[in-house]
Amino acid sequence: MRIGVVTFPGSLDDVDARRAVRLAGAQPVALWHADCDLAGVDAVVLPGGFSYGDYLRCGAIARFAPVMTAVVDAAGRGMPVLGICNGFQVLCESHLLPGALIRNERRKFACLDQRLRIERTSTAWTSAYEAGQELVVPLKNGEGGYVADDATLDRLEGEGLVVARYVGPNPNGSLRAIAGISNEAGTVVGLMPHPEHAVEDLCGPGTDGLGFFTSVLQGVLA
Amino acid sequence: MARVVVDVMLKPEILDPQGKAVHGALPRLGFEGVTDVRQGKRFELQLDGDLGDERLAQVHEMAATLLANPVVEDFTVRVEP
């Protein structure tokens, strides 16, 4: 399986994401923001960082990068797409996922090993986990507060589209402690914490994040 | 030539941590009596040619597509004299 990882100007975690893909047993494919096609990959990861310097709004400029036209098209045809941190912001700006991410409630950049609870396992990126399973993965963001109107939040909860929730103190003011959400099909997932930084014992808090990358290999959608 | 200003503000129900920080700093500097601060963005667009309805509608489209994120932000468009 070939998994593309997009590099935008200002992406930081593209190399870590490609490494996580490789450790999970897939072949990472580097994609560039100016590419007009996805080189035939089977899935795409939009990595963390500060694409285009976070100018205007986080993810707002990246949304209009040439490669995103191809990503939005492919997502519409059911290709798995995982957006991590800045990638989550890009997915929201692209309207592939509802809501938006705004500045952290307490205005401080959050950087910690964060406990999460996996709430939806019937997605392309979380099928390797069990519902209710708790993970510890790094979280690092300045604008990670997930917001949406009450009707959208109720719909996300009612349809079981909340993929992961923060456990313990809310690190960034995300409404209903939402750390990640998915589309209805479970193919598109946005996540504020960084599973790609928790794939090896040597670095980071453990290997709890690897499941996101092994899940997509199974290609099993409930 | 026409000049159009687009003001973008977070929706009232969305928390504005930057505005809160400014609000918190004012009393420390001795400025009293400010009950709230909201921070926004101002875009000044220079357009060539005459500004007809169609052109103005385009500016609204620009604002809704790129300058503002309608999920969390409101915008206003006004033509500068």
For residue A107, what pLDDT is reported? 84
| pLDDT > 90: percent of chain A | 95
Catalytic residue list contains A194: yes
Inter-chain touch B10–A57, beta carbons under 8 Å: no
If you average pLDDT over every residue of chain A, what do you get?
A: 96
Asked if the C-beta of B17 comes within 8 angstroms of chain A's C-beta atoms, the answer is yes
Residue A135 has pLDDT above 90, yes or no: yes
Question: Nearest Cα to A109, choosing from A139, A83, A137, A89?
Answer: A139
Inter-chain touch B69–A173, beta carbons under 8 Å: no
Residue A167 has pLDDT above 50, yes or no: yes
Instruction: Quote ipTM for the complex.
Output: 0.84
Q: Which of A55, A90, A94, A103 to mutate to test the interface with B (most CBs of B within 10 A)?
A: A103
Residue A220 has pLDDT above 70, yes or no: no
**Where residue A221 falls among pLDDT bands split at 50, 70, 90?**
very low
If you average pLDDT over every residue of chain B, what do you get?
A: 95
| Residue A142 with chain B: CB contacts under 8 Å | none
| Residue B17 with chain A: CB contacts under 8 Å | 102-107, 173
CA distance A100 to chain B (A): 7
Residue A222 has pLDDT above 60, yes or no: no
Asked if the C-beta of B15 comes within 8 angstroms of chain A's C-beta atoms, the answer is yes
- Token duo for residue A91: 């997915």
| pLDDT > 70: percent of chain A | 99
Average pLDDT over residues A32-49: 97
Which of A33, A85, A119, A143 is catalytic? The answer is A85
User: What are the φ/ψ torsions at residue B40 (nearest 5 degrees)?
Assistant: -135, -165
Residue A30 has pLDDT above 80, yes or no: yes
What is the rounded distance in angstroms from the CA atom of residue A181 to the CA atom of residue A146? 10
Inter-chain touch A98–B20, beta carbons under 8 Å: no
